[in-house]
Chains A and B, each alone.
Chain A
Amino acid sequence: MASSTLVSASAEIPPTPLPGGGAWSRLRRRPGFLIAAFVAALMSAMAAVPQAFAGWFGAGDPRACDLVRSAQPPTAGHPFGFDVQGCDLYSTVVYGTRSSVVVAVLATAGMLVIAVVLGSLAGYHRGWADAVIGRVMDVFFGFPALVGMIVILQTLSVRNEVTVAAVLVLFGWPPLARVMRGSVLAVAGSEYVAAARGVGARTGRVLLRHVLPNSFGPVAVLTGLNIGLVISSESALTFLGVGLRTPAISWGVQLNTAQQYFTTAPHLLIFPSLFLSVTVLGFVLLGDALRDAFDPRTR
Chain B
Amino acid sequence: MGPYVLRRVLMAIPVLLGTTFVIYLAVYALPGDPIQALAGPNQVISPSVAQALRERFHLDQPLVVQYGLYLRGLLGGDLGTSFTGRPVTEIIAASWPVTAQLGGTAWIIMAVAGVALGVVAAVRRGAADAAVLFGTTLALGVPFFVVAYVTQIVFGVQLGWLPVSGVEAGWPLAYILPGLVLALSGLPQVARLTRTSVLDGLAADHVETAVAKGLTGTAVLFRHVVRNSLIPVVSLLGVSLGYLLGGTVLVEGIFNLPGLGYQIYTAIPQHDGPVVVGIGTMLVLVFLSVNLLVDLLYGVLDPRIRLG
Q: Are B145 and A239 in contact (CB under 8 A)?
A: yes
Q: Are B19 and A277 in contact (CB under 8 A)?
A: no
Interface of A is mostly: helix
Distance from A97 Cβ to chain B, minimum over Cβ atoms (Å)? 15
* Chain B window 142-154, contacts with chain A (Cβ cutoff 8 Å), 1 for yes, 0 for no: 1111100110010
Residues of B within 8 A of A240 (CB): 250, 253, 265
Q: Are A263 and B157 in contact (CB under 8 A)?
A: yes
Q: In the complex, how many residues of chain B place their beta carbon closer than 8 angstroms to a beta carbon of chain A?
A: 45
Distance from B145 Cβ to chain A, minimum over Cβ atoms (Å)? 6
Residues of A within 8 A of B29 (CB): 155
Residues of B within 8 A of A139 (CB): 15, 18-19, 22
Say which one of A11-19, A143-151, A213-221 lies at the interface with B. A143-151
> Residue B53 at the A interface, CB < 8 A?
no
Distance from B105 Cβ to chain A, minimum over Cβ atoms (Å)? 19
Segment 249-285 of B: residues with Cβ below 8 Å from A: 249-250, 253, 261, 264-265, 268-269, 276, 280, 283-284
Residues of B within 8 A of A259 (CB): 149
Q: In the complex, how many residues of chain A place their beta carbon closer than 8 angstroms to a beta carbon of chain B?
A: 39
Residues of B within 8 A of A285 (CB): 137, 141
Separation of A151 and B31 alpha carbons in the complex (Å): 11
Q: Are B143 and A236 in contact (CB under 8 A)?
A: yes
Residues of B within 8 A of A32 (CB): 137
Residues of A within 8 A of B27 (CB): 151
Which of A138, A147, A154 has the most chain B CB atoms closer than 10 A to its own CB? A147
Option from B19, B138, B150, B250 in Cβ contact (under 8 Å) with A142: B19
> Residue B287 at the A interface, CB < 8 A?
yes
* Chain A window 182-209, contacts with chain B (Cβ cutoff 8 Å), 1 for yes, 0 for no: 0000000000000000000000000000
Q: Are A144 and B142 in contact (CB under 8 A)?
A: no
Separation of A136 and B22 alpha carbons in the complex (Å): 11
Separation of A140 and B138 alpha carbons in the complex (Å): 28
Separation of A198 and B31 alpha carbons in the complex (Å): 55
Given A142-B16, A144-B246, A151-B280, 7 more pairs with CB closer than 8 A: A143-B284, A145-B246, A155-B30, A228-B141, A255-B145, A273-B146, A288-B137
Q: Can you show 5 pairs from A to B with CB atoms below 8 A apart?
A: A145-B246, A154-B30, A255-B146, A262-B153, A281-B137
Residues of B at the A interface (CB closer than 8 Å) are: 11-12, 14-16, 18-19, 22-23, 26-27, 29-31, 137-138, 140-146, 149-150, 153, 157, 245-247, 249-250, 253, 261, 264-265, 268-269, 276, 280, 283-284, 287-288, 291
Residues of A at the B interface (CB closer than 8 Å) are: 32, 135-136, 138-139, 142-148, 150-152, 154-155, 157, 228, 232, 235-236, 239-240, 255, 259, 262-263, 266, 269, 273, 276-277, 280-282, 284-285, 288
